[in-house]
Amino acid sequence: MTHLVELARTVDDAARTAKAIPQLSIEYPGLSVEDAYEIQRLSFARRLQRGEKRIGIKMGLTSRAKMIQVNVDEVIWGRLSDAMLLEEGGSLSLSRYVHPRIEPEIVFLLKKPLAGRVTALQALAAVEAIAPAMEVIDSRYENFKFSLADVIADNSSSSGIVVGPWARPDQDFSNLGMVMAVNGRPVQIGSSAAILGNPIRSLVSAADMVARAGETLEPGEIVMAGGATAAHAMSKGEHIHLAVQDLGDVMIGVEA
């Protein structure tokens, strides 16, 4: 347990200071997924001790192609804090990140507690609203190299979120067109269907996974459903715009 506490401090410091670190799995080749989630929990607890508030969770590896690529059969998750919120239409600073990338997503806002094994209908009944969103993901590992356990320990690359206008959830959001453009030029084109075939399946998985960790998704919290396309590596001077069919737009600028 002692070394997990120390590794939690290492990844937290890396995220807080935007400094790259060696892969944890190199020094600890036997690092398990269970160990990695404990490191994540301990690391996030340090954020809470500094005064940050949990606002929800993010889901990762929600693409079947990504699952096959890293040889896993289950999505992963990470925790979100209020310090990760970015102003819609504002700008983010690259100096806060190590290897910042951004990806288009769908986000859920909850109105009821949610945890455990639930059906898609039960999960949807807990949703207050949905919105277009983008997530800034950032691996803190040197040379952008990592194992599955490394990613999970690093809070599943959770780094920043920008959320667009909220919309009613009683509409079909299973296959919405999504276009992410940089300075007016489309760089990623996809569909919400790329998120486990339907983003609601991501919410179902979220409820199950947090329950296994002894936690509950609370009213007012959000769940980022996962990337619908590959992520875009950001550069200074970019203006990034996501348009989601029937849901609206979300924008962020990039500065040094």
Average pLDDT over residues 231-252: 97
Query: Which of 63, 71, 91, 32 lies closest to 230 in space, CA to CA?
Result: 63
State the burial class of residue 78 (Cβ atoms within 10 Å of its Cβ: 0-12, 13-18, 19+): buried
Secondary structure of 182-202 in HEC code, one letter for each residue: ECCEEEEEEEHHHCCCCHHHH
Q: What is the pLDDT of residue 178?
A: 97
Largest CA distance in the chain: 50
Specify the 3-state DSSP secondary structure of 65: helix
> Would you state the pLDDT for residue 256?
87
Tell me the CATH number at 71: 3.90.850.10
* Residue pLDDT, tens place only, 54-100: 999 999 999 876 676 566 677 999 999 999 999 999 999 999 999 99
181 has a pLDDT exceeding 90: yes
Q: Exposure pattern of 153-192 as b/e (b: 16+ CB <10 Å)?
A: bbbbbbbbbbbbeebebeeebeebebbbbbeeeebbebeb
State both tokens at 121.
């209908």
Q: If you ran DSSP here, which 8-state letter would residue 140 be given?
A: -
Q: Which range marks the domain in which residue 189 is found?
A: 2-255
pLDDT at residue 68 in the model = 66
Could you tell me the pLDDT band of residue 41, with boundaries at 50, 70 and 90? Answer: very high
Number of domains in the chain: 1
Question: Exposure of 129 by Cβ count < 10 A (0-12 exposed, 13-18 middle, 19+ buried)?
Answer: middle
Q: Which residues pair with 127 in a beta bridge?
A: 110
* Residue 69, pLDDT score: 58
CA–CA gap between residue 43 and residue 250 (Å, rounded) = 30
